[in-house]
């Protein structure tokens, strides 16, 4: 299979500082365990800003989070992702002239990402101040085959001279995190979290071990070099950095190749990370670099076969969609020790924390393409379930579990509780994600091992926070998905997600009982049938706000009482609003940062009629700024459902191209992984109308008039299905697995091979 539009490139690179720092994120290398920002090996001038970072998913230290007033239960420390080392620095000198694109003359420059090969690269043709011309090709890879491995292949070709070549390659373990005191999405202080512990050095190889100052974790990075021709390689300590000098000669038209191998290990999964790093380095060196490249291509070939997505009629959009899906597999953790951060492993935005983004925007993609990844992500939530129980006690609840709003290792890292810890809907999000995984895979074993316990414990929490009033069950003082409306009573999204959680807790109780797999779980957590009856009563009595006059679901009890924010006449330089207006000013207005009730109508569509969803969509569209990257994809999905095809396409384009075009102006801090998952959902759940329910799998496809065709593959239960939609017909093909009953609009079909449905015949 050939991936269409699998290469993203930029020719004639800009040296504007803002462009460079954005491209550090756009072209970063990651594999779910490590992530390396795409900094120039030789660096920038001292006057330039740069986020020079290398990260390990889930590796953290503890930082103070001082509260202005010390109130009970408010966290005073947090976890933060660390910049663990710099192994990407390489300086090149030719006959004593140091290579830099900021000096001499750059005759040609290109940067590219190859999504089939899993590599990024730079190609530069450069003339030195003294007239020597060289062609430089640099290839980078973070290996999916060996997750600890990062390689740089540095090729130098002499075009019009012969002479001496020297590489100075650095291995730095004393590094700092990036900071920006003006942006709440980035750490405010630049801190060195690591203390150097051990150094092991020989001629070609170095291993540096550091320990975090407060979390007690260790990290080891190892570096080794190979050269394609005879030369000298000497390693020395320079202050606390390891510097390796590689010297050789070069003839005219000759090409020499330096390969720099870096391995990263940590003590979260291994007791002795130094011994593990040595083992990983030997593993890396045991096969040629070309074999590593082959394994990378092999991994990605299988990946693209599972999540194939083609759009015929808009090449730029196809590239953007493929880019987004590539970043998801780069970003997501591959075991239960970690998750997926809001910025992947591309930058330090949100300090490497995990949010509800995982469950609501990213797991839907992996459910349909690589459900084993979702299994790991649910496994991570299960590993931190005890900490969620502890968090519930801190928040004053006597039973159940409350997952933190933002975290790395399971405790709350949100310092501003109105738009953080008050977001109780994260419990409903996690429960919903487990149920969605089960409906897609029918993997009952995961429910027995982990998922059911989470669902029961999150359901318990709703009975702790809610109460009955005039015969209805109400949930007060919470914050829904919209962070411009905080601390409200009966947020519609929260209440309907709680209802779903409670109802499924009851269903699972009896499913597991029927399978004779309930007793162990029930005994372990003290769950009784009486408690299940409490769940059922609360779900059936759940209060869902409704306005008779407007025929919409109000976002909460007080939302419609507030003054409407004048979005049209707000200056463009005042967006996003959170950076320019006090939170209380926002809270007093009808203004939404992102989809909230509209999101609820997508996720829990059976709770309301189509007419109410249409009225609500029209209403909230006028008061939503989409300051959150999580928003436009949801509006696109709902516009598709409501038959608003032009709006659906407009919202989709904004979502798909968000990072490649830096639409929100903050891609420098890292990519927007949740939006990338949302882009996929906007096609599959939006245009194709996919829904997976207890009663089966459903489609209601439409196609934008700008496209000739779109095609994608999904996994459902034990089968893989290919869906192809063009302007004339819809085609469903069973690629593998057992036959399936599928629904297209209101009709049911038995899919055994292929089904072709002409427009109007559905």
| CATH (domain of 172) | 2.70.98.40
Residue 287 lies in a domain: no
Distance CA(33)–CA(260), nearest Å, equals: 19
Residue 220 lies in a domain: yes
Which pLDDT score, from 0 to 100, does residue 186 have? 55
Residue 161 lies in a domain: yes
Distance CA(447)–CA(437), nearest Å, equals: 10
Q: CATH number, domain at 718?
A: 2.60.420.10
CA nearest to 17, candidates 668, 672, 658: 668
Last residue of a domain, one of 237, 260, 275: 275
Distance CA(99)–CA(122), nearest Å, equals: 14
Which pLDDT score, from 0 to 100, does residue 239 have? 81
Distance CA(55)–CA(24), nearest Å, equals: 14
* Residue 76 near residue 66 (C-beta atoms within 8 A): yes
* Residue 607 near residue 544 (C-beta atoms within 8 A): yes
pTM (predicted TM-score): 0.96
Last residue of a domain, one of 275, 298, 313: 275
CA nearest to 635, candidates 644, 323, 492: 644
Tell me the average pLDDT of the chain. Answer: 95
Average pLDDT over residues 370-397: 98
* Residue 641 near residue 602 (C-beta atoms within 8 A): yes
Measured over the CA atoms of residue 170, residue 173, residue 179 and residue 184, the dihedral's sign is positive
The pLDDT of residue 270 is above 90: no
Q: Catalytic residue positions?
A: 483
Residue 681 lies in a domain: no
Residue 434 lies in a domain: no
Residue 534 lies in a domain: no
Lowest mean pLDDT among 184-193, 244-253, 363-372, 566-575: 184-193
| pLDDT tens digits for range 300-340 | 999 999 999 999 998 888 889 999 999 999 999 999 999 99
Which pLDDT score, from 0 to 100, does residue 179 have? 73
Measured over the CA atoms of residue 91, residue 95, residue 99 and residue 102, the dihedral's sign is positive
Distance CA(416)–CA(75), nearest Å, equals: 9
| Local confidence band at 579 (pLDDT 50, 70, 90 cut-offs) | very high
Kindly list the strands in the beta sheet with 754-758, ordered across the sheet, starting from the edge strand earlier in the chain. Answer: 309-312, 709-716, 719-726, 729-736, 754-758
Average pLDDT over residues 277-306: 97
Residue 64 lies in a domain: no
Which pLDDT score, from 0 to 100, does residue 185 have? 52
Which pLDDT score, from 0 to 100, does residue 66 have? 87
| pLDDT tens digits for range 151-198 | 999 999 999 999 999 999 999 998 999 876 565 555 556 678 999 999
For the chain, the domain total comes to 2
- Helix H, strand E, coil C: the string for 85-103 is CECCCEEEEECCEECCCCC
Residue 696 lies in a domain: yes
Identify the domain containing residue 194 by its residue range: 7-58+77-275
Last residue of a domain, one of 275, 300, 316: 275
In the chain, % of residues over pLDDT 70: 98
* Residue 690 near residue 684 (C-beta atoms within 8 A): yes
Q: Report which DSSP code applies to 335.
A: S
CA nearest to 593, candidates 669, 664, 501, 515: 664
In the chain, % of residues over pLDDT 90: 91
Distance CA(270)–CA(10), nearest Å, equals: 40
Which pLDDT score, from 0 to 100, does residue 190 have? 62
Identify the helix (H) or strand (E) that includes residue 120: strand 119-127
């Amino acid at each position: 299979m050939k991936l269409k539009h699998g290469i993203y490139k930029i020719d004639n690179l800009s040296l504007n500082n803002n462009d460079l720092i954005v491209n550090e994120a756009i072209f970063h290398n990651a594999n779910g365990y490590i992530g390396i920002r795409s900094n120039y090996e030789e660096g920038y001038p001292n006057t330039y800003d740069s986020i020079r970072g290398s990260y390990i998913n889930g590796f953290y230290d503890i930082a103070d989070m001082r509260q202005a007033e010390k109130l009970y239960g408010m966290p005073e420390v947090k976890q933060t992702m660390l910049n663990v080392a710099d192994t990407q620095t390489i300086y090149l000198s030719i006959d004593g002239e140091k290579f830099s694109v900021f000096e001499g003359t750059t005759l040609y420059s290109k940067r590219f990402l190859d999504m089939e090969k899993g590599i990024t690269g730079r190609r530069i043709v450069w003339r030195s101040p003294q007239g020597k011309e060289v062609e430089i090709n640099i290839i980078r890879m973070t290996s999916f085959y060996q997750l600890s491995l990062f390689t740089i292949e540095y090729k130098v070709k002499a075009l019009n001279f012969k002479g001496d070549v020297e590489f100075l390659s650095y291995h730095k373990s004393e590094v700092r995190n990036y900071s920006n005191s003006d942006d709440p999405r980035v750490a405010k202080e630049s801190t060195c979290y690591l203390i150097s512990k051990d150094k092991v050095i020989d001629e070609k190889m170095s291993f540096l071990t550091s320990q975090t100052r407060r979390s007690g974790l260790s990290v080891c990075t190892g570096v080794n070099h190979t050269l394609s021709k005879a030369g000298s390689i000497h390693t020395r300590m320079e202050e606390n950095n390891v510097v390796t000098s590689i010297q050789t000669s070069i003839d005219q038209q000759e090409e020499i190749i330096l390969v720099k191998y870096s391995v990263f290990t940590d003590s979260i999964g291994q007791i002795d990370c130094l011994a593990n790093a040595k083992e990983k380095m030997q593993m890396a060196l045991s096969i040629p670099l070309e074999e590593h490249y082959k394994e990378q291509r092999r991994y990605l070939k299988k990946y693209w076969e599972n999540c194939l997505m083609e759009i015929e009629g808009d090449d730029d959009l196809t590239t953007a969609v493929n880019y987004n899906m590539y970043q998801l597999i780069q970003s997501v953790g591959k075991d239960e020790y970690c998750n997926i951060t809001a910025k992947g492993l591309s930058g330090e935005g949100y300090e490497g924390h995990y949010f509800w983004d995982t469950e609501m925007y990213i797991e839907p993609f992996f459910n349909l393409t690589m459900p084993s990844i979702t299994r790991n992500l649910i496994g991570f939530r299960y590993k931190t379930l005890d900490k969620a129980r502890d968090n519930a006690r801190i928040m004053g609840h006597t039973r159940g579990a409350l997952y933190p709003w933002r975290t790395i290792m399971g405790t709350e890292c949100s310092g501003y509780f109105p738009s953080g810890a008050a977001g109780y809907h994260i419990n409903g999000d996690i429960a919903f994600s487990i149920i969605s995984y089960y409906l897609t895979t029918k993997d009952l074993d995961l429910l027995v091992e982990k998922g059911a316990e989470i669902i029961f414990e999150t359901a318990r929490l709703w009975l702790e926070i809610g109460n009955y009033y005039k015969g209805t069950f109400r949930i007060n003082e919470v914050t829904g998905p919209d962070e411009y409306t905080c601390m409200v009573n009966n947020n519609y999204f929260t209440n309907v997600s709680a209802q779903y959680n409670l109802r499924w807790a009851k269903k699972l109780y009896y499913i597991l009982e029927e399978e004779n797999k309930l007793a162990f779980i029930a005994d372990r957590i003290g769950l009784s049938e009486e408690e299940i009856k409490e769940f059922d009563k609360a779900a059936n009595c759940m209060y869902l706000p409704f306005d008779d006059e407007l025929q919409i679901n109000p976002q909460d009890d007080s939302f419609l009482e507030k003054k409407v924010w004048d979005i049209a006449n707000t200056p463009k330089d005042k967006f996003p609003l959170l950076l320019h207006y006090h939170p209380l000013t926002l809270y007093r207005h009808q203004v939404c940062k992102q989809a909230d009730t509209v999101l609820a109508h997508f996720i829990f569509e059976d709770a309301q009629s189509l007419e109410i969803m249409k009225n609500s969509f029209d209403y909230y569209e006028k008061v939503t700024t989409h300051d959150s990257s999580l928003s436009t994809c949801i509006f696109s999905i709902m516009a598709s459902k409501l038959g608003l095809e032009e709006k659906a396409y407009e919202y989709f384009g904004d979502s798909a191209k968000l990072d490649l075009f830096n639409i929100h102006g903050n891609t420098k801090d890292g990519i927007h992984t949740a939006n990338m998952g949302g882009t996929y959902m906007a096609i599959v759940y939006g245009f194709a109308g996919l829904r997976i329910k207890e009663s089966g799998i459903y489609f209601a496809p439409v196609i934008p008039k700008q496209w000739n065709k779109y095609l994608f593959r999904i996994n459902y239960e034990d089968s893989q299905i290919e869906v192809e939609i063009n302007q004339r017909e819809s085609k469903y093909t069973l690629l593998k697995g057992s036959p399936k009953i599928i629904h297209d609009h209101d009709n049911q079909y038995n899919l055994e091979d292929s089904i072709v449905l002409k427009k109007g015949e559905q």
